[in-house]
Amino acid sequence: MEKFDVVIVGAGSGGIGAAIAAGRLGLKVLLVEKQNFVGGNATQSGVSVWEMGVGGTGIPFEIYKKLKEIPHAVGIYSFKKHRKWQLKTGETPLHPGAEITIDKSVKYFDTLRRHGSELGIQNEVFVRKNWHGVPFEPTIFQDVVENMMLETGNITLIKNTAVIEVIKQNDEIQALKLSNNRTISADYYIDCTDNGYICQAAGCEVMYGQESKEQFDEPNAPDVVSSKLNGVSLIYSISPLKSEGVVKPPICWWADEYPPTSIVEYPNGDLNINMLPTMEGIEFSIYTNYTHAYEECKRRVLAHFQHLRYVYPPYKDYQIVWIAPALGIREGKRIVGEYILKEQDIRSGLSKQEQHDIVTIADHALDTHGKSTGRAGCAELDEPYGVPFRCLIPKGFSNLLIASRAASFSSLAASSCRLSRTMMQLGQAAGMAVYLAQKSNVPVKSIDYQSLRQLLLEQNVQLEYPILPKLKKYLDDE
């Protein structure tokens, strides 16, 4: 049986952060990925845009710097148009949603804020000044990330391989059986899969759908438990290539009208098209066959593209150049941890949170997509909040962590802290926590939280707000 210091399952954002952090600290790391790529949603679902928000420091910033060395690999965006702004001024033609373009006048530091506008997108002045994100070329992103792993000299990456069995005893994972007929073991394991597959297979307690108001006393939770989920998107890209004449699109058969659309310019000039959403979360959950759900979403993409060209003449000569091979799924199963992040934590913010084990900060809105969720879109925050390390510790386990959107969040909390850079930083914290646990020969939940926070600070991870001068100086050097 092959032995590693830590086995990480899932090479999405969380897995990337965990592997690089642990490998740099000298741990012998195995990273297992069932697909033929790393990056998860960022590379195969078209979510190759880091939205604005605090906390995108540490490993995400390092990736950005490496991408910036490559022509047309990365940029920073600003909002150019929004249909709600046009409605106020009477500008025509009315945009289908938001037009977001590369802006060479802003820097990475400018991408590190979202909070502070109660009106959200309605506050045009605030949004133009403060809301900047990071679109990047996904194929180049994969290469950069894999090279960063290789540079550690300590990471073994296995693709096209799934975990088929989890072997455990009491509160410990003992080994994993892989689809390539190998059995591997480690002192510690980090589950970075979207649905917490390893945790589920080990028997961890699972949350799914919307919790009731009674369960966590969350002000905006429904009165009763619900299976409703955040919406699903199938993202596609278009390019200004001469196409056939514009024809009237079919009537939107899946909703009252075509959904609002975020249109983001890539560094190479293509446009990333994201319907918000393509399919309601509750509708997606009913499909028993993923391929059938994907094919229906693809039909909707083709209809939406014709609608886009028809209602907004500036896009009439564009063509589809890429449709994501995987759906962008915002919400699935979540694992009950030593602490469950709730709406109250997010709304109270850092100034009122009493947890002493915060390892990541964020300020994304409580954000749901789709009318079936029963929630009112985005609820912007007044200040950043922190995610405690205990959210990464599955309840009842001593050598297992989870660092993905399936970590210990309520459904409402997950709608805020699900973004890529946040997940990557949770992964970075998990990788460093394993290092501290092995160093002291203790269960991961028994590490010294202040030592973990100090290690994160030393690696330029933002844990406070406003940002510390030393870190700002580091970020300004891009």
Find the mean pLDDT for residues 156-167.
Answer: 98
Contact 7, 186 (CB under 8 A): yes
Place of tokens 């952090």: 21
Check: CB of residue 144 under 8 Å from CB of residue 67: yes
**Per-residue model confidence as pLDDT tens digits over 222-250:** 999 999 999 999 999 999 987 677 889 99
What's the angle, vertex CA 40, arms to CA 37 and CA 44, rounded to 5? 70
CATH label, 2-75+136-163+169-220+332-476, candidates 3.30.70.3450, 3.40.462.10, 3.20.20.70, 3.50.50.60: 3.50.50.60
Q: Name the phi and psi angles at 440, rounded to 5.
A: -100, -5
Domain boundaries, the chain: 2-75+136-163+169-220+332-476, 232-329
What rounded mean pLDDT belongs to the chain? 96
State the pLDDT at residue 316. 92
**What is the model's pLDDT at position 368?**
87
312: pLDDT strictly greater than 80: yes
Rounded CA separation 425/411 (Å): 20
Residue 375 pLDDT:
64
Dmax of the chain from CA atoms?
A: 68
- C-alpha distances (whole Å) from 356 to each of 54, 62, 382, 459 are 19, 27, 21, 19
Over residues 38-85, the pLDDT tens digits come to 999 999 999 999 999 999 999 999 999 999 999 999 999 999 999 999
Residue 22 has pLDDT above 90, yes or no: yes
- Report the alpha-carbon distance of residue 362 to residue 383 in Å, rounded: 9
For residue 156, which amino acid is it?
A: T
Tell me the whole-structure pTM to 2 decimals. 0.97
Tokens 């998107």, located at residue: 233
For residue 317, the tally of other CB atoms under 10 A from its CB is: 14
Q: How far, in Å, CA of 373 to CA of 220, rounded?
A: 12
**Across residues 1-14, what is the average pLDDT?**
97
Kindly state the helix (H) or strand (E) to which residue 13 belongs, with its residue range.
helix 13-24
pLDDT of residue 477: 83
**Model confidence band, residue 1 (pLDDT cutoffs 50, 70, 90):** confident
- 10 Å Cβ neighbour count for 231? 25
User: 449 near 356, Cβ under 8 Å?
Assistant: yes
Instruction: Give me the mean pLDDT over the 200-205 stretch.
Output: 98
Which one is predicted more confidently, 369 or 467? 467
Does the pLDDT of residue 376 top 80, yes or no? no
Structure letter (DSSP) for residue 246: P
Count other C-beta atoms under 10 Å from residue 84's C-beta.
15
Query: pLDDT at position 241, please?
Result: 84
Whether 374 has a pLDDT exceeding 80, the answer reads no
